[in-house]
Amino acid sequence: MERDITLRVNGRSYDGKVEPRLLLCDFIRHDLTLTGTHVGCEHGVCGACTVLLDGVPVRSCLTFAVQANGHEVMTVEGLSSDPANLHPLQQSFWEAHGLQCGFCTPGILMTVLPFLEENRDPSEDEIRTAISGNICRCTGYQNIVDAVKLAASKGEAARLRASVDTEDSPFDQDGGVL
């Protein structure tokens, strides 16, 4: 009953064989070993597992891997997976102390990135509304809000999906086979 799927993650194409019930978060984390995406509640409330599906934030714990077949996924590693070379959005969170334990952070970054694309100069209220579907238990949100403001102030750079390959034709390179 396994299904073949092909999807693009952070610009790279992957083929996989998955059970229909396999969650996208488990596929990303365990099959692709992209463990930056975290699972906090498995019922779609906390937002820790947020990834971009064709550019739109989704809960990867409420999405089946088969639903991502033929689609483009972006995870936190797609911003930058190199600690020595942070994406401007990641850099802003570092500078503003926008994280403590860091478990919710990848989901928040993946929520904020498309938000900043839509809203280039957000107010505090708009930022708070944008991240209200992401629970953080450590920071009290204040420094997260400040980190988003800081990123917005950096302009275009923070909105770039830096390492994502934006070529039009999908699945034509790398061909990572699981």
Partner 1 sequence: MTSTIPESDRSENAAVHHTGETRSFGKRQKRNEDPRLLTGQAQFVDDVHIPGMLHAAFKRSDYAHAHLVSVDVEEARSMPGVVAVYVAADLGDYWQPSPLLVPAPPAQHVVFNERTAGPLARGKVRYVGEPIVLVIAESRYLAEDAADVIMIDYEPLPVVVDPAAGLMDGAPLVHEDVGSNLAAHVIQSKGDYEVARAEADLIISRHFDYDRGSAAPMETRGIVAQWDALAHHLSVWDSTQAPIVIRNMLAGMLGLSQRQVRVVAPYIGGGFGPKIMMPYPEEALVPWAAMRLNRPIKWIEDRQENFVAMTQERGQSHDAEIALTKDGIILGVKDVFLHDNGAYDPYGLTVPLNTQTHLLGPYIVPHYYTEFRAVFTNKIIVTPYRGAGRQHGVFVIERLLDAAAKELGLDPTEIRRRNLIPPDQFPYNNEVIGQDFTHLTYDSGNYEPVLNTAMKMIGWEEFRSSRPSVDGTKRQGIGLVMYVEGTGIGPYEGARIQVEPTGKVTVVTGVGTQGQGHYTVFAQLAAEVLGIAIDDIYVSTGDTAQFNWGTGTFASRGATVAGSAVHSAAVMVADKAKKLAADELEAAPEDIELVDGFAQVRGVPGARISLSELANRANPLRGAVQPGTEPGLEATAYFGPPMQATAAGAHAAIVEVDTETFDVKILKYVVVHDCGRVINPMILEGQVHGGVAQGIGNAFYEQLVYDEDGQLLNASFMDYLVPTSMDVPRIDVGHEETPSPLNPIGVKGAGEAGAIPVGALFAQAVEDALRGTGVEINVIPLNPSKLWELVRQARLDMQGLP
Site for partner 1 in 112-171 (CB under 8 A): 127-129, 131-145
Q: Does the footprint of partner 1 cover residue 88 (CB under 8 A)?
A: no
Nearest 5°: the CA angle 21, 132, 39 is 30
Q: How far apart are CA 137 and CA 103, in angstroms?
A: 9
Residue number, 21 or 120, with CB nearest to partner 1: 21
| Spatial CB neighbours of 80, under 8 Å, sequence gap ≥ 6 | 86, 87, 90, 162, 163
Cα 63 to Cα 146: distance, rounded to the nearest angstrom: 30
Choose one: 1-9, 70-78, 114-122, 152-160; the region binding partner 1 (CB under 8 A). Answer: 70-78
Counting beta carbons within 10 angstroms of the beta carbon of residue 140, is it exposed (0 to 12), middle (13 to 18) or buried (19 or more)?
exposed
- Closer to partner 1 at the Cβ: 70 or 176? 176
Q: Tell me the C-alpha distance between 86 and 104, whole Å.
A: 18
Nearer to partner 1, 70 or 154 (CB): 154
Q: Which 93-112 residues touch partner 1, going by CB under 8 A?
A: 93-95, 97, 99-106, 109
How far apart, in whole angstroms, are the C-alpha atoms of residue 137 and residue 47?
Answer: 12
CB-wise, 118 or 172, nearer to partner 1? 118
Q: What is the dihedral of CA 125, 130, 134, 137, to 10 degrees?
A: -20
Among the listed ranges 66-74, 79-87, 154-162, 169-177, the one in contact with partner 1 (CB under 8 A) is 79-87
Residue 36 vs 68, nearer CB to partner 1? 36
Q: Which is nearer to partner 1, 18 or 70 (CB)?
A: 18
Contact letters for partner 1, residues 28-67 (x by CB under 8 A): -xx--xxxxxxxxxxx-xx-x-------------------
Measured in Å, how far apart are the chain's first and last C-alpha atoms? Answer: 17
| Site residues, partner 1 (CB under 8 A) | 19, 21-22, 29-30, 33-43, 45-46, 48, 75-77, 79-84, 86, 90, 93-95, 97, 99-106, 109, 127-129, 131-145
